[in-house]
Amino acid sequence: MPFTPTLGAQCVAASECAATLTSCVDNPECGPWLACLTACGDAACADDCDETFGDARRLLPAVYTCLCEARECTALGACGKSSCVASEPPPLLTEAPLTLAETGLYSLPDVYSYTPEFPLWSDGLEKERLVFVPGCATIDTSDMDEWKFPVGTRLWKTFAQSGVAIETRLTHRYGPGPADWLYAAYQWDPLAPGDASKATWTGGAVVPDANGTGHDIPGNGNCKQCHDGRKERSLGFSAIQLSHEARGADLSLGRISRLGWLTVPAPEDFRVPGNDVQRAALGYLHGNCGGCHDQDGKLPDPESPMVLRLRVAQTDYAQTDAVRTTVGVPVRSGLPALAGKDRIDPETPEASGILVRLHARGIEGLQMPPYNSNSTKQPDVHGGIAAVTAWVSSLTP
Ligand code: HEC
Ligand code: HEC
């Protein structure tokens, strides 16, 4: 019997979409869908492929739009698929729902996990982060250092001790305005571990020593002190923080680029510049401090800003703002504990203002970040403090 190509194969062969098809095949998020489509004999099968490879939905319109120009593709339903299709997005939340379950982290489709490379130190608690970007929406990455999230975006972060969840935080963009972000924290019920319907909204107040763990759930004012410094509110879902090899099913910068989430894709990671010691220290300061100490240059004062936030274009270690505004630069602060010190002092590493403030966790007015959410207030001696100390010591002449 002569071999008859499938309808899908005929459509693909008849089209003049070589470039579009090649870029789909070369994209591991698109290629499997195209293979599925090529094997199809009718439009229902094509619909099934679209659904099976739903993660790729943002990539399909470009391919279908091109295929539709070939007559052979009509029977496959290629025409009429020139825009992305997703299930109805959940309603926007202008107020915090009363239970965590109602925020959708376990019920919405398309909720993905991710882990920033340089997390915020939270007294050694375990953390898990999730993100939801509505079905076909994209993140405006025309400024790679300040992603603009689409309306409907939700981000969650859960804090746990020995595997038992204590609290989950939510940030949610509910409108197009720059301040249209909701902040909420949910306290888990120690008697119902794992039951998000029993994890309830704190009402925005601080909850000290939540569930007897020594962990304080911050109030809404605290959320803002740390998050409002960024135009786009998100501190850890960003180009630099996602530029590392992802664990398990976690998203990475490369993956969300390939999935079509970004208006300007960035399939290659941005590497924090420097050797391993320099990278570890600059990355830590970026993740823990850069949300406030940023290029706006207001902190501690505009005369001599201290900028710990990294930018993707600053690829030369010695030219990063973090190096230029700290090493051998005197502090501006009038605090007695910092008097006469340099921010980073290669001659006497332990006298560096930055290290003094990292060690001062729990000493109000001196500790950095100025607001933390843990009543145990353990300095990050084995992590960030060790990394920054190793870096400063490596500068010692
Ligand atoms: C001490 C500063 C600080 C405070 C206070 C704080 N956050 Fe964050 N938050 C961060 C940093 C830094 C990150 C990114 C690094 C990480 O996830 O470890 C982050 C991450 C998050 C994330 C994950 C998405 C993202 O932006 O990266 C959510 C959700 C979140 N915070 C919500 C809240 C809410 C809600 C509150 C108040 C109840 C709050 N945060 C209080 C600093 C803070
Ligand atoms: C929530 C915003 C915020 C975060 C996050 C933050 N800072 Fe600050 N920082 C400030 C403010 C406000 C000042 C000025 C007032 C003061 O010195 O207390 C400051 C001042 C400083 C100074 C004094 C600089 C000088 O020249 O006077 C140092 C050093 C410093 N911070 C280190 C850090 C480090 C290290 C981190 C991260 C571990 C960090 N900060 C995170 C808000 C922040």
HEC letters along 264-303: CCCCCCCCCCCCHHHHHHHHHHHHHHCCCCCCCCCCCCCC
Q: In what order do the strands lie in the sheet with 200-201?
A: 111-114, 126-132, 154-161, 164-173, 181-187, 200-201
Q: In the predicted model, what is the mean pLDDT of residues 265-281?
A: 97
Provide the strand spans (E) within 61-125. 111-114
Q: How confident is the model at residue 35 (pLDDT cuts 50, 70, 90)?
A: very high
Residue 58 CA to ligand 2 centre (angstroms): 41
The residue written with tokens 């145990």 in the block is 376
pLDDT attached to residue 353: 98
pLDDT at 288: 96
The closest residue, in CA terms, to atom 31 on ligand 2 is 368
pLDDT digits (tens, 9 = 90+) for 83-126: 999 999 999 999 999 999 999 999 999 999 999 999 999 988 99
Q: What is the pLDDT of residue 32?
A: 98
**Cα R_g (the chain), whole angstroms:** 25
Q: How many whole angstroms from 263 Cα to the centroid of ligand 1?
A: 25
For residue 235, the ligand closest to its alpha carbon is 1
Alpha-carbon distance of 137 to 150, in angstroms, equals 6
Query: pLDDT digits over 352-391, tens only?
Result: 999 999 999 989 899 999 876 667 788 999 999 999 999 9
Report how far residue 40's alpha carbon sits from residue 6's, in angstroms, rounded to the nearest whole number.
6
**Is 90 exceeded by the pLDDT of residue 58?**
yes
The reported pLDDT for the residue numbered 4 is 87
CA-wise closest residue to 36 among 18, 17, 63, 68: 63
Instruction: Identify which of 157, 382, 141, 387 has the alpha carbon closest to the alpha carbon of residue 283.
Output: 387
Ligand 1, atom 37, lies closest to the CA of 223
Residue 2: pLDDT over 70 = no
| Average pLDDT over every residue of 220-231 | 90
Ligand closest to 129 (CA) is 1
Model pLDDT, residue 265: 97
Render pLDDT for 174-211 as a digit per residue (tens, 0 to 9).
Answer: 999 999 999 999 999 999 999 999 999 999 999 999 99
Determine whether the shortest distance from the Cβ of 172 to ligand 1 is under 6 A. Answer: no
Nearest protein CA to atom 4 of ligand 2, as residue: 369
Please name the residue whose Cα sits nearest to atom 40 of ligand 2: 368
112, 218 Cβ separation under 8 angstroms: no
Q: What is the mean pLDDT of the chain?
A: 95
Q: Which residues pair with 172 in a beta bridge?
A: 154, 182
Looking at the CA of 221, name the nearest ligand.
1
How far does the centroid of ligand 2 lie from the alpha carbon of residue 338, in Å?
12
Task: Tell how far the Cα of 227 is from the centroid of ligand 1, in angstroms.
Answer: 7
What is the DSSP-derived secondary structure letter of residue 2?
-
Whether residue 286 has its Cβ less than 6 Å from ligand 1: no
Q: How confident is the model over 277-318, as pLDDT tens digits?
A: 999 999 999 999 999 999 999 999 999 999 999 999 999 999
The one-character DSSP state at 375 is S
Q: Nearest C-alpha to atom 13 of ligand 2 is from which residue?
A: 300
Which string of DSSP letters, residue by residue, matches 130-187?
Answer: EEE--TT--BB-SSTTS-BPPTT-EEEEEEEETTEEEEEEEEEE-SSSTT-EEEEEEE
Distance, CA of 228 to CA of 176 (rounded, Å) = 16
Q: Residues 305, 306, 311, 315: is their CA dihedral positive or negative? A: positive
Ligand 2 atom nearest the C-alpha of 331 is: 26
The H or E element containing residue 17 is none
What is the 3-class SS of 300-340, one letter each residue? CCCCCCCCCCCCCCCCCHHHCHHHHCCECCECCCCCHHHCC
Asked whether 292 lines ligand 1 (CB < 6 A), one says no
Which is it for strands 207-210 and 215-217: parallel, antiparallel or unpaired? Answer: antiparallel
Within 6 Å (CB) of ligand 2, which residues are found?
Answer: 225-226, 288-289, 291-293, 299-300, 306, 331-333, 343, 353-354, 357-358, 368-371
What average pLDDT score do residues 134-154 get?
A: 97
**Residue 372, phi then psi, degrees to nearest 5:** -125, 175
Mean pLDDT of 234-255: 96
| 148, 223, 237, 371: residue to mutate for ligand 1 pocket, most atoms within 8 A of CB | 223
| Alpha carbon of 370 to ligand 2 centroid (Å) | 7
pLDDT higher than threshold 80 for residue 1:
no
Res 6 pLDDT > 70: yes
Q: Nearest bound ligand to CA 301?
A: 2
pLDDT at 278: 98
